[in-house]
Amino acid sequence: KAGVTQTPRYLIKTRGQQVTLSCSPISGHRSVSWYQQTPGQGLQFLFEYFSETQRNKGNFPGRFSGRQFSNSRSEMNVSTLELGDSALYLCASSLLTSSETQYFGPGTRLLVL
């Protein structure tokens, strides 16, 4: 099976812009979770989607949002970008829940100038 894929891999934006990241899970996986990884804060959970519904949400401001499509592909959007949003954004998929083995994608590295 093909692994989790994420696009784009690298992105440079300026403050105030918005960005959309995409994640394609492993075929058959229905749960997609998003994480932000920074040197200062480590790996932090953003949200999880299952069957096109947000099932869990971490402690991030409303500028961070996401959605999931009927084919389980997911997108996350960050509006009004801030310098502190510069990070590696990882998505992970699992069959049904985040309490099963999660398979991570390669990540999207976002740089906000």
Partner 1 sequence: GENVEQHPSTLSVQEGDSAVIKCTYSDSASNYFPWYKQELGKRPQLIIDIRSNVGEKKDQRIAVTLNKTAKHFSLHITETQPEDSAVYFCAPLSGGSYIPTFGRGTSLIVHP
- Using CB under 8 A as the binding rule, whether residue 5 contacts partner 1 is answered as no
What residues between 11 and 40 interact with partner 1 by CB under 8 A? 33, 35
- One-letter amino acid at 15 equals R
CB 60 within 8 A of CB 77: no
The residue within the footprint of partner 1, chosen from 64, 107, 108, 112 (CB under 8 A), is 107
- Using CB under 8 A as the binding rule, whether residue 53 contacts partner 1 is answered as no
- One-letter amino acid at 52 equals E
Nearer of residues 72 and 102 to partner 1, judged by Cβ: 102
- Using CB under 8 A as the binding rule, whether residue 101 contacts partner 1 is answered as yes
CA distances 26 to 33, 70, 74, 102, 109, Å, are: 12, 14, 12, 10, 21
